Amino acid sequence: MKLYPLFADLAHRAVLVVGGGAVAERKIAALLDAQAQITVHAIELTPQLQAWADEGRIILRSGPFDDTWLDTVWLVIAATSDNALNKRVAALAESRRIFVNVVDDSALCSFHVPAVIDRAPLTIAISSGGDAPMLARLLRERLETLLDHSLGALASLAAKLRKRIRLRYPDLAGRRSFYEDLFTGPVARLLRQGQPDRALEAAEHLLASTPARAAGSVVLVGAGPGDPGLLTLRALRALNEADVILHDRLVSAEVLDLARRDAERIEVAKQAGNHHTTQDGIHALLLEHARAGKRVIRLKGGDPFVFGRGGEELEFLRDHGIPYEVVPGITAAVACAAYAGIPLTHRDHAQSVRFVTAHCRSSMDTLDWPALAQERQTLAVYMGVGELPTLQANLIAHGRAASTPFALIENGSRADQRVVTGTLAQLAEWATTHAVRSPALLILGEVAALAESLAWFGQAPLGAAVASMRGKAPIKTLPAPERRMGGNLLSAIHHR
């Protein structure tokens, strides 16, 4: 179930809490912070709840539960140990279209109470939909250490200047550029140092001195092979600064989900065998949006400078005077090999790697087949699924052993990754048998045999066992449990 995030203004609005124990006390404390008008029905109260009642901060209801208590409330929380009462409260609230939370029973909830990081007026909420509340709390604890308490003062200062900022920067691109300077420059530093008056002076100076219209620009960003965890920090920042994103079809939905929600997204469908937007058309789109003063991201699968035509796009931007920069990505050969457990080089088996593209017959005709057929090297072949029979025939004809291992990696690094292994003699047949489809990368060479023993991600490789490497030094591998991804979630967050 995917929840819709919602921040509710409960100030001076009636809320009913059923229950008077420790859990109810925690919920009521948060509601008091939100200035809600709280009515509590409970047989017994914690000392703190009784104190709040004595102070007039909450209203108590005693006796049997009365359905009419729901008639005037905006929100209901059921936090009792009586399952039957909790279910009754949930059903009554549902019939009245009132949002209800039943503690520790997500099936009865129409809203969930998140773990909250409070930097008022900035609030960050984390929810697991009731499935893993402890995980949400652990994430909150980690984020608490990363987010400075001065962020609240920074948000308040921005609110104070908001109308003037909108008048000064009527276009979205210029306004966003100003806010980035405001939030990351001297103003934020002065607030961290506890100097709000000087921070306000610096903000006023920034507002008066920054040009009213920002120039457009283009950033070529490598999106990697699909796993959003492989994005660089620079790429993530660029995605969150973008006004317009021109992306290939190979860019995964998970990567696009990390971009700004209000950025315009234009798919240019650059995929093997499917180019519904020509390269000239992409150039025209880059120019149109950059000249409109927008920050444009050209988002490419893998790395923009490895078979991505990034060089051509930079030449076009240079010739038209458009500022640009490049954020490298992890190219498919590196990422797919790693996720398949295949080292591209190995002291005993491969001393070099060749990156080759084979997306059409004309590109195949330009390849140096004798060089590609040499032993003790790894071939990483991009966009070659449609030309596997030709690859196979030419490599064998020019001396590459038919017993050379291969690995075809489909959707490398993604949840649906598949790895097909075999020998060069079986390449075209195995690809047809297992219906391998683009995007898929071919790795050919002795190292490809290691996919069967070093695999750590996704399903085990498909296909027959590859030919043994007779006479080669044995390859030492860790026991299976030690080869799997280690570490816990919090250490992963820390190291990112």
348 a catalytic residue: no
Q: What is the DSSP letter of 411?
A: S
CB 278 within 8 A of CB 298: no
> Which residues fall within 8 angstroms of residue 137, CB to CB, at 6 or more apart?
115
Question: How far is residue 286's CA from residue 299's CA, in Å, rounded to a whole number?
Answer: 12
Per DSSP, what are the bridge partners of residue 123?
118
* 249 Cβ contact list (under 8 Å, min separation 6): 267, 269, 270, 271, 274
**Cα(390)–Cα(205) distance, integer angstroms:** 66
Find the farthest-apart pair of alpha carbons in the chain and give their distance in angstroms, rounded: 92
Q: What is the DSSP string of 291-330?
A: HTT-EEEEEESB-TTSSS-HHHHHHHHHHTT--EEEE---
27, 243, 270, 300: which one is catalytic? 270
227, 243, 248, 303: the active-site residue: 248
Does the annotation mark 160 as catalytic?
Answer: no
Q: Which is nearest to 403 in space by CA: 345, 472, 332, 334? A: 472
251's CB contacts (< 8 A; 6+ apart) are 223, 299, 300, 301
CB 32 within 8 A of CB 38: yes
Q: What is the DSSP string of 168-193?
A: H--SHHHHHHHHHHHHHSHHHHHHHT
Catalytic residues, by residue number, are 248, 270
